[in-house]
Amino acid sequence: MGTRHPNYRLVKIHRTYTVDEIARLFGIHPNTVRAWRKQGLEPIDERRPALFKGLILAQFLRARRQKAKRPCSPGEIYCLPCRRPKRPLSGIVEYSPSSPTVGNLRGICPTCHRAIHRHVNRAKLCVVTGDLEVTLTAPAPRLLETYDLPVNCELESEEAA
């Protein structure tokens, strides 16, 4: 099964591809490639079998992927269920550090009322949050190492025998 946005870096730009070769390269159905042709993927000529230049194919896939991106502005966090950047409910987020340099912003989506998260570098926190009200929380306690390891009794009994 293929992906929604195939990796254009797999395409060799100095090669020509048929519909079946493209389908095999990305693990997609040949009808998907034919649909791309209707969306603007240009073949070399109008003859059959349809041949596509690798460079043109890579550019088409790169443009398709770029068009699908939805960058977040300052003060926005991407909501996965809504599939778009949203400003958190009431403009309030909490920042919890996961290491000394990075942490997570958490808020509530105003549309679907689910938790939304954004991984943020602490140095860029002011730029990313914009005019949001940020509450700093303490990091979660880390697991402590235990020095009381269980004794392997089988080894001791074998040595004695």
Ordered by start, the domain boundaries in the chain are 8-68, 77-136
pLDDT band at 11; cut points 50, 70, 90: very high
CA distance 108 to 83: 14
Question: Which has more confidence, 47 or 157?
Answer: 47
At 71 the pLDDT is: 83
CA distance 73 to 82: 16
**How is domain 8-68 classified at the architecture level of CATH?**
Orthogonal Bundle (1.10)
E strand segments, the chain: 16-18, 51-53, 77-79, 84-86, 92-97, 102-108, 115-121, 133-136
Question: Which has more confidence, 135 or 155?
Answer: 135
pLDDT mean across residues, the chain: 88
Question: Which has more confidence, 114 or 160?
Answer: 114
Q: What is the pLDDT of residues 134-152, one digit of tens each?
A: 988 887 676 666 666 666 6
CA distance 13 to 103: 40
- Check: CB of residue 55 under 8 Å from CB of residue 16: no
